[in-house]
């Protein structure tokens, strides 16, 4: 995604938002791929969920892992985004975001560990670009009506101990055709993170095996 890895890292929030999803379509065009299966994890799930409302004809299926899409944008959401972005500018990582994504009762790592994480992040990422990505969250919002109208076959996978589960539960209420798989004890990230669970790969492979290639 733009803002990450070896992609461009503009510092203007207006350069992110829905443009992050449309980059996927641009890549498909560049590669000459008419339709594809798409999988998004965490923020990638939010991006994919919006993209399905913008360019659904380009996708054979979608899998949302621990990321549902954003169906509203409140003053509290805006405050959270600004706090997270400000912390990223200072430290590269956001303690407030880590707290919200942690499973209930889980404490943040000690300060010494967070300092190590921050130093590692600054060595790999651009803090100002990450802050700009964070400030663009509001541009990822889709209406429940738009989410309900999506016809692309969709799988959703999330852990029982992941705060993101509430969003995927909401998506299933909006679009009951979504197949929701909940992995017991899985968290958003860390030692019990959902990406480490072997069931994830099995569920994804089984879902894709039933879809056209």
How far apart are alpha carbons 41 and 164 in whole angstroms? 11
Predicted confidence at residue 186, as pLDDT, reads 96
Indicate whether 105 pLDDT > 80: no
Residue 104 has pLDDT above 90, yes or no: no
> Distance between CA 32 and CA 80 in Å, rounded?
39
**Each residue's pLDDT tens digit, 57-86:** 999 999 999 999 999 999 999 999 999 999
The arithmetic mean of pLDDT across residues 8-18, rounded, is 96
- With a CB cutoff of 8 Å and minimum separation 6, the contacts of 118 are 91, 92, 93
pLDDT-based confidence at residue 47 (cuts at 50, 70, 90): very high
Q: What is the pLDDT of residues 143-196, one digit of tens each?
A: 999 999 999 999 999 999 999 999 999 999 999 999 999 999 999 998 999 999
Per-residue pLDDT at 107 exceeds 90: no
Q: What percent of the chain has pLDDT over 90?
A: 89
> What is the residue extent of each domain of the chain?
1-34+73-140, 36-72+142-209
Q: pLDDT at position 151, please?
A: 97
Of the listed ranges 104-113, 116-125, 176-185, the least confidently predicted one is: 104-113
In three-state secondary structure terms, 72 is coil
Q: Does the domain spanning 36-72+142-209 belong to CATH 3.30.9.10? A: no
212: pLDDT confidence band, cut at 50, 70 and 90?
confident
Which residues, in sequence order, are CB contacts of 185 under 8 Å at separation 6+?
159, 160, 161, 192
Which residues sit opposite 184 in a β-bridge?
A: none
CA-CA distance, 17 to 54, in Å (whole number)?
13
pTM of the model: 0.93
| 48, pLDDT greater than 90 | yes
Residue 109's pLDDT band (cuts 50, 70, 90): confident
């Amino acid at each position: 995604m733009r803002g990450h890895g070896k992609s461009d890292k503009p510092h203007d929030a207006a350069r992110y938002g829905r443009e992050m999803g449309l980059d996927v379509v641009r890549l498909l065009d560049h590669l000459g791929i008419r339709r594809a299966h798409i999988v998004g994890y965490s923020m990638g799930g939010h991006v994919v969920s919006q993209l399905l409302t913008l360019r659904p004809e380009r996708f054979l299926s979608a899998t949302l892992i621990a990321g549902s899409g954003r169906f509203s944008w409140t003053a509290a959401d805006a405050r959270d985004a600004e706090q997270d972005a400000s912390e990223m500018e200072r430290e590269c990582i956001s303690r407030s975001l880590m707290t919200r994504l942690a499973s209930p009762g889980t404490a943040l790592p000690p300060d010494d560990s967070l300092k190590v994480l921050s130093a590692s992040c600054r060595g790999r990422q651009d803090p100002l670009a990450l802050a700009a990505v964070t400030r663009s969250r509001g541009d990822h919002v889709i209406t429940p009506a738009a989410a309900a109208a999506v016809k692309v076959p969709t799988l959703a996978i999330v852990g029982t101990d992941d705060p993101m589960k509430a969003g995927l539960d909401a998506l299933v209420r909006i679009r009951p055709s979504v197949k929701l798989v909940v992995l017991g004890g899985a968290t958003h990230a860390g030692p019990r993170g959902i990406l480490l669970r072997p069931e994830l790969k099995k569920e994804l492979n089984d879902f894709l095996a039933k879809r056209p290639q």
